[in-house]
Structure 1
């Protein structure tokens, strides 16, 4: 778990007055402005955020200290973070994506499957991208109670019961 959590990224400039296109990673996109100032990953810059509207696939916003289109464009690709302690406490069965990344994944028999590399949300539910050492590519595991019955943050591990056919070699084990 990290002291800073990524809530979004700057997708580029919007207009000529220094506004930015902002990609929000929060459950409700507009909540990105509700957590107080946002910081660059290294903490070197701090931005107050004022949402100004929506653009295709993103929000538009003014960031403090970004007065021109050139300054906004220079920030393209910058990720925006908040201190973890400003985020609300979640119910026991909910998790921030940042908490899942890096956790070790084991099958229900205790065999290691790999580590969570990323969490993806393509609209139909979250997917855990799992990378196993010695294996090329990654596995995309549905993040459902059926496929992931146990997440233990204190032990830094996930117990998974992948659907049949998801893992390499499942066909031979039938």
Structure 2
């Protein structure tokens, strides 16, 4: 769905007993999630006309028209909310939607395939690219900074990385 839709948030459960939802926004301006309504679920089978009521810890309290009690709100926990790509703002050349980075091949500065982007994580500081290493089931995290990732070429579907020493596992020693 990343071709036409971008994940902009998630429903993290109920808030109170009157059917309000707890919403986490992944938008640069968190309140903007409401302006992209109607949002959809991952497969596009359901629309959500989200109305933000107020900010709460780690997100917003929001309403959906057809949700009137805590049980219905809790049943939606974990649903990712998607906006149509054309609704979202254009990004500067050095910014990317996470969905556009996932599954890109990652090469080192010498052209050697390091792996592919499995996910993009953010634990409070900079974004981290989770790399599925080439020819391995091992993953590692690469800081998504200009120093570690000097080039992202969406048109050719590749990333050029210059990982700091110790980021990638050491190659096995041969006798």
For Structure 1 versus Structure 2, the TM-score category normalised by the shorter chain is: over 0.9
Q: 1: CA distance between counterparts of 2:79 and 2:109?
A: 39
Moved more, 107-116 or 34-43: 34-43
Kindly provide the CA deviation profile for residues 75-111 of structure 1, in whole angstroms up to 9, marking residues without a partner as x: 0111110111111111111111111111110000011
1:58 CA drift (Å): 2.1
1:137 CA drift (Å): 2.8
- Detail structure 1 runs of 4+ shifted over 3 Å in the superposition: none
**Residues 40 and 81 of structure 2 are in contact (CA less than 8 Å); yes or no, is this contact kept in structure 1?**
yes
**Residues 47 and 65 of structure 1 are in contact (CA less than 8 Å); yes or no, is this contact kept in structure 2?**
no
**SS of 1:34 mapped into structure 2:** helix
Q: 2: CA distance between counterparts of 1:99 and 1:49?
A: 25
**Residues 48 and 64 of structure 1 are in contact (CA less than 8 Å); yes or no, is this contact kept in structure 2?**
yes
**SS of 1:27 mapped into structure 2:** coil
1:133 CA drift (Å): 4.0
The answer for unaligned runs of 5 or more in structure 2 is: none
1:170 CA drift (Å): 6.7
Aligned residue-pair number:
172
Aligned-pair RMSD on alpha carbons?
1.6
Other-structure match for 2:19 = 18
**SS of 2:91 mapped into structure 1:** coil
- Find out whether 1:31 has 2:25 as its counterpart: no
Other-structure match for 2:169 = 168
Other-structure match for 1:120 = 121
**Residues 165 and 171 of structure 1 are in contact (CA less than 8 Å); yes or no, is this contact kept in structure 2?**
no
Other-structure match for 2:87 = 86
The answer for unaligned runs of 5 or more in structure 1 is: none
